[in-house]
Chains A and B, each alone.
Chain A
Amino acid sequence: MKLLPLKKSALQAALSTLLIFSLTPSVYADGASRGLEIANEADKRDTGFVDSIAQMKMTLTNKQGQTNTREVKVKTLEVIGDGDKGLSIFNTPKDIKGTASLTYSHALKPDEQWLYLPALKRVKRISSKNKSGPFMGSEFAYEDISSQEVAKYTYKYINDETFNGVDCFVIERYPAYKHSGYTRQVVWVNKQEYRAEKVDFYDRKNVLLKTLTYEGYQQYLGKFWRPDAMHMINHQTKKATTLSWKHYQFKTGLTDKDFNRNSLKRAK
């Protein structure tokens, strides 16, 4: 019984390797620059939101179908030319209510992260090495929810495909930062709006690990697309996590002062 999944994984790995090799010669010439071009255009279209506040609800579902939820308030400050600043304040589970994390993300140098522990009133600077670990026990890794900067990956354009009836570019991206849990990600990018519709994540052994799909995109301020829900399915553990987003606000007047040690201690 135990052999079967192993065999399947090995087969998948072999197939995907084969796929890369068979595609490589024909697209190599312009694949990398075309991939980067698409990533740059997507980034350009999402530039200028200045800041945002949103309510996130995570629903974790295990193999048996049991669920757990977490509610997090997420504040983001756009930083032009570097990774964004983010403040996450946990409302549930209730035993960690008031816990907050502050992140200064960067493209290639390590992110800077602080954690506020309300019971001790203590701010702890923490290591940012843990990119591949689960965020709050979910199927989202820290690297999946951190600020997506163009320079964090190298790219390759693969082909055009339709996904759910939407015309997409299919690009591959390869993490350029240390300690990633992935060899590559395959992204289906909406051709018209340059927003991700689906991402396949391949683990360190280049076996399909997870699939992320985006649902209910809404446009804010006539420019910025944000999904109502993001569904992550782990193919290896059969566990799933859905992030539902509510009450999106943009250009609320947040500044650097709302993303420092003092504001972390006050975060509600």
Chain B
Amino acid sequence: MKLNKKSLSILLLALPAFNCMAEWSGDISLQNRYFINDPLPQNPQQHDNYLSISTEIEYYSDLNSSDKSITFTPFIRIEQYDKERTHTDIRELFYEQVFENWELRAGISKVYWGVTESQHLVDVINQTDNVENIDFEDKLGQPMVKASFEKDWGIVDLFVLPYFRERTFQGVEGRPRSFPVVDTDRASYESSDKQQNIDYALRWFKYFGELELGLGYFNGTSREPLFIFDANALVLTPYYPQMQQASIDAQLTTEEWLWKFEAIARDWQQVDNNNSQISDESFFAMTGGFEYTFVGVYESDADLGLVMEYLYDDRGIDATAFFQNDIMLGFRLAVNDADSTEALLGIIYDLDNQERLISLEASKRFADSWTATLEIRGFNNIDRLSRLKGIEQDDFIQLDVAYFF
């Protein structure tokens, strides 16, 4: 009897291991950022070298079923000086269930919309984790209920977003950052519900062979803040207006060429800091371009991709966005070796004031479970009146060494 019980429990223990998929994975990463130039004289609190450590862990379980799952992905970074960059976030914590013709996701999650490389205009669901990096690629987890329907006429995603996440900004010791510093403790909202305002979004997507087309609509709190200048405290305070945004994104893929296009039309507000006025504003912005890949360059196994995009905003120099009439030129090298050695060089050139933003990212794997990533960012020929003025001295070289488990 005793033996039977024991063998039964062993059997029960052993069963899920075969049938159920539940696993932990993640990475731990050490990062060093070195700034080539001294900080601006206005920012004596800043440093030249910043060391930090981060980890992101994912737990996934299929709940012993073929149609249900849970995912939990916490993230933490501890940074040497910047109290704002030392932060934690729940990137994901959601339940998902797949039904016959639709699927449901509820919890904290991340969603990506769009096709272009230089900027992501139509990608509006998740807030940017701006302290992680200034390239708008890192996102905070967004609480949501998402229903996705698959029909002959396309995939439709409906979103209800019950809680708003504020954008993260570097603290006084942080670098690179704006001047004056952003005081995130003093964020304000157009909506009286503040962070509890319920946002809605809708997306339709269809694949027509070579052409893929997406339409999006968002109604709620803008992820992008406006800034109110407080001359007494010498800080910028974020102000989050309500916005309505309609978007289109399309990609045409032929064997050699990728043609990409994104455009948005947004109704929201603008802040005039000269007379402390907030007024309504509408604008249009777009990104469009192509990617072409040369396969097996110089008779090697390497591929060289050429990316070119034009970035436009009809508010011109008044745009809250950095790119209003800019050209992006990118070179993507994939060595295609066993270590997945890759490099991406990007230059964004402002056709109005000749500012140049330069970035180089290179990475490779070593010893199976490790990667090394080098990132160099340069801000060149920054205009005297530019909103990038604060980061003019902030060219940096960053090395990340990550262990994956």
Residues of chain A whose beta carbon lies under 8 Å from any beta carbon of chain B: 60, 62, 68-69, 92-98, 110, 112, 120-130, 132-134, 137-138, 178-179, 181, 257, 260-262, 266, 268
Chain B, 281-304, contact with A by CB distance < 8 Å: what is the 0/1 string? 000000000010101100001010
Q: Are B255 and A137 in contact, with the CB atoms below 8 A?
A: no
Q: Are B365 and A93 in contact, with the CB atoms below 8 A?
A: yes
Give the complex CA separation of A93 and B337 in angstroms: 13
Residue of A nearest to B62 (CB): A268
Task: Known A129-B255, A132-B296, A137-B337; judge A93-B369 contact (CB<8 A).
Answer: yes
Q: Would you mind naming 24 contact pairs between A and B with Cβ atoms under 8 Å apart?
A: A62-B338, A92-B368, A93-B368, A94-B25, A94-B405, A95-B371, A95-B404, A97-B404, A110-B254, A112-B253, A125-B115, A125-B253, A127-B291, A127-B293, A133-B336, A134-B301, A134-B336, A257-B150, A260-B150, A261-B155, A262-B148, A262-B155, A266-B98, A268-B21
Q: Are A178 and B253 in contact, with the CB atoms below 8 A?
A: no
B109-150 contacts to A, CB under 8 A, are 110-112, 115, 137, 148, 150
Q: Is B382 on the interface with A (CB-CB < 8 A)?
A: no
Residues in A with CB closer than 8 Å to B62 are 268
Residue of B nearest to A141 (CB): B301
Q: Are B365 and A95 in contact, with the CB atoms below 8 A?
A: yes
Q: Are B295 and A132 in contact, with the CB atoms below 8 A?
A: yes
Residue of A nearest to B150 (CB): A262
Residues of chain B whose beta carbon lies under 8 Å from any beta carbon of chain A: 21, 25, 27, 60, 62, 69, 96, 98, 103, 110-112, 115, 137, 148, 150, 155, 205, 207, 209, 212, 251, 253-258, 291, 293, 295-296, 301, 303, 336-340, 365, 368-369, 371, 402, 404-405
Contact with A95, one of B27, B69, B96, B111 (Cβ below 8 angstroms):
B27
Contact with A127, one of B69, B155, B256, B405 (Cβ below 8 angstroms):
B256
Give the complex CA separation of A134 and B254 in angstroms: 21
Residue of A nearest to B210 (CB): A112
Contact with B336, one of A97, A98, A137, A179 (Cβ below 8 angstroms):
A137
Task: Known A129-B295, A130-B295; judge A96-B112 contact (CB<8 A).
Answer: no
Q: Are B207 and A261 in contact, with the CB atoms below 8 A?
A: yes
Q: Are A97 and B255 in contact, with the CB atoms below 8 A?
A: no
Given A62-B338, A94-B404, A137-B336, 10 new contacts (CB under 8 A): A69-B368, A129-B293, A130-B293, A133-B301, A133-B336, A138-B338, A262-B150, A262-B155, A268-B21, A268-B69
Q: Are A125 and B255 in contact, with the CB atoms below 8 A?
A: no
Residues in A with CB closer than 8 Å to B365 are 93, 95
Q: Are A261 and B371 in contact, with the CB atoms below 8 A?
A: no
Q: Are B112 and A137 in contact, with the CB atoms below 8 A?
A: no
- Across the A-B interface, give the 8 residue pairs with the lowest CB-CB distance, nearest first: A94-B404, A110-B255, A137-B338, A122-B112, A121-B112, A68-B338, A121-B110, A95-B404
Residues in A with CB closer than 8 Å to B402 are 95
Residue of A nearest to B340 (CB): A137
Residues in B with CB closer than 8 Å to A69 are 368
Task: Known A93-B368, A97-B25, A128-B255; judge A133-B111 contact (CB<8 A).
Answer: no
Query: What's the least CB distance linking B312 to chain A, in Å?
Result: 23
Give the complex CA separation of A52 and B84 in angstroms: 50
Residues in A with CB closer than 8 Å to B209 are 112
Query: What's the least CB distance linking B239 to chain A, in Å?
Result: 28
Residues in B with CB closer than 8 Å to A62 are 338
Give the complex CA separation of A92 and B370 in angstroms: 12
Give the complex CA separation of A94 and B56 in angstroms: 13
Give the complex CA separation of A181 and B303 in angstroms: 14
Give the complex CA separation of A251 and B148 in angstroms: 27
Residues in A with CB closer than 8 Å to B301 are 133-134
Q: Are B369 and A94 in contact, with the CB atoms below 8 A?
A: yes
Give the complex CA separation of A133 and B305 in angstroms: 14
Q: Are A68 and B368 in contact, with the CB atoms below 8 A?
A: yes
Residues in A with CB closer than 8 Å to B98 are 266
Query: What's the least CB distance linking A18 to chain B, in Å?
Result: 25
Contact with A130, one of B212, B253, B291, B303 (Cβ below 8 angstroms):
B303
Contact with A133, one of B115, B155, B296 (Cβ below 8 angstroms):
B296
Query: What's the least CB distance linking A26 to chain B, in Å?
Result: 36
Give the complex CA separation of A128 and B25 in angstroms: 31
Residues in A with CB closer than 8 Å to B110 are 121
Residues in B with CB closer than 8 Å to A257 are 150
Query: What's the least CB distance linking A87 to chain B, in Å?
Result: 15
Give the complex CA separation of A62 and B62 in angstroms: 37
Residue of A nearest to B111 (CB): A121
Residue of A nearest to B301 (CB): A134
Give the complex CA separation of A12 and B402 in angstroms: 46
